[in-house]
């Protein structure tokens, strides 16, 4: 479903991604880990073209990103992304946050977008908060809304960039629970995370990065050994 072929990216003379090659199959959950600054966040952001690359290519569902530049918003709908900081629109309530991109990017009518958004909100267990503003929600709740917002776009894959790192410890579990549920439902996922419990229990494969290179890419059971 996603092919990442020998990608390279530089900031000036500094090479942040160095010959990264991997693929993610439909329904697979891949965890990307490695030291801070090794390029994990940059790597997954290349998949929805938030980070342009200078070498190699990325193919999603048979189409190279470089061949579809004019349709970036559509690509970003197909490739849902959840960030460390929830990035909800603070001046829009939860329902409006869930609806806006569906209308603007997918051209859905407001009623349909609202219905789909609320269905996703229910899925993450927050329907009761539909009229609140982001500032009235906890960090964990905001992150679950951000996940619902991405899901409302009918993505074929979900990218997570340290989705629990900015949360108070007591809220990590509720976000991981939603991610586990998505994995169980067969969502294709690429997750940068330090949550090794999640990696071990939920992921199919682990990619380990160091200094811009993928230095390990193996089934989760191999990565964690026999125990
Ligand atoms: P990770 O997610 O593994 O912590 P990142 O992908 O965020 O790593 O960053 C990889 C490296 O690239 C880091 O050394 C970071 O400082 C550097 N970097 C990221 N963005 C930029 C940028 N816009 N300009 C220069 N260097 C950058
Ligand atoms: P994340 O890991 O979630 O991307 P970062 O704090 O690493 O968050 O980066 C935040 C933003 O700052 C990113 O857009 C990245 O491109 C940019 N950035 C990161 N490191 C550098 C750097 N050394 N020089 C310039 N920009 C950077």
β-bridge mates for residue 17, sequence order: 9
CA-nearest residue, atom 2 of ligand 2: 41
Give residue 48's pLDDT. Answer: 87
pLDDT value at residue 70: 59
With left for phi above 0 and alpha for psi between -120 and 50, is residue 154 left, alpha or beta?
left
Q: What is the pLDDT of residue 76?
A: 81
Nearest ligand to the C-alpha of residue 38?
Answer: 1
Dist. CA 80–CA 48, nearest whole Å: 8
By C-alpha distance, which of 49, 48, 50, 56 is closest to 9?
A: 56
Question: 157 near 59, Cβ under 8 Å?
Answer: no
Question: Which residues contact ligand 1 via a Cβ below 6 A?
Answer: 11, 16, 34, 36-42
Counting Cβ atoms within 10 Å, is residue 128 exposed (0-12), middle (13-18) or buried (19+)? exposed
Sequence length of the chain is 227
Question: 184 CA distance to ligand 2 centroid (A)?
Answer: 32
3-state secondary structure 59-126: EECCEEHHHCHHHHHHHHHHEEEECCCCCCCCCCCHHHHHHHHHHHHHCCCHHHHHHHHHHHHHHCCC
- Measured CA angle at 213 (ends 212, 214), to 5 deg: 130
Return the pLDDT at 49: 87
Question: Looking at residue 155, what DSSP letter applies?
Answer: -
Q: In this structure, are residues 168 and 142 in contact, taking their beta carbons and an 8 Å threshold?
A: no
pLDDT the model gives residue 68: 67
Ligand 2: residues whose CB is within 6 Å? 41, 84, 161
What's the whole-model pTM score? 0.88
Which ligand is closest in space to the CA of residue 9? 1
pLDDT tens for the chain, 227 residues long, are 999 999 999 999 999 999 999 999 999 999 999 999 999 999 999 998 888 899 999 999 888 887 766 577 778 888 999 999 878 999 999 999 999 999 999 999 999 999 999 999 999 999 999 999 999 999 999 999 999 999 999 999 999 999 999 999 999 999 999 999 999 999 999 999 999 999 999 999 999 999 999 999 999 999 998 65
Alpha-carbon separation of residue 67 from 47, 59, 64 (angstroms): 14, 9, 5
The helix (H) or strand (E) run that includes residue 219 is strand 213-219
* Burial degree of 102 (CB within 10 A; 0-12, 13-18, 19+): buried
User: Which of 32, 42, 214 to mutate to test ligand 1, by most ligand atoms within 8 A of the CB atom?
Assistant: 42
Residue nearest to atom 18 of ligand 1 (CA): 16
């Amino acid at each position: 479903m996603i092919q990442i072929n020998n990608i390279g990216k530089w900031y000036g003379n500094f090479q942040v991604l160095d010959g990264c090659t991997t693929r993610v199959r439909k329904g697979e959950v891949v965890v990307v880990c490695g030291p801070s600054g090794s390029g994990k966040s940059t790597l997954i952001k290349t998949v929805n073209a938030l980070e342009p690359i200078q070498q190699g290519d990325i193919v999603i569902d048979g189409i190279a990103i470089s061949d579809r530049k004019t349709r970036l918003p559509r690509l970003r709908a197909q490739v849902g992304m959840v960030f460390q900081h929830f990035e909800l629109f603070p001046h829009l309530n939860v329902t409006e946050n869930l609806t806006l991109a569906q209308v603007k990017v997918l051209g859905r009518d407001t009623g349909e977008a609202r219905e789909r958004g609320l269905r996703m909100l229910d899925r993450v267990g927050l329907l009761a908060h539909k009229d609140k503003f982001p500032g009235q929600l906890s960090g964990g709740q905001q992150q679950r809304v951000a996940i619902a917002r991405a899901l409302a776009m009918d993505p074929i894959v979900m990218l997570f960039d340290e989705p629990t790192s900015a949360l108070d410890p007591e809220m990590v579990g509720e976000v991981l629970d939603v991610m586990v549920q998505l994995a169980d439902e067969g969502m294709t996922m690429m997750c940068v995370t330090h949550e090794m419990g999640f990696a071990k229990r939920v992921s199919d494969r682990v990619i380990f990065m160091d200094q811009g290179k993928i230095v390990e890419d193996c089934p989760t059971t191999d990565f964690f050994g026999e125990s």
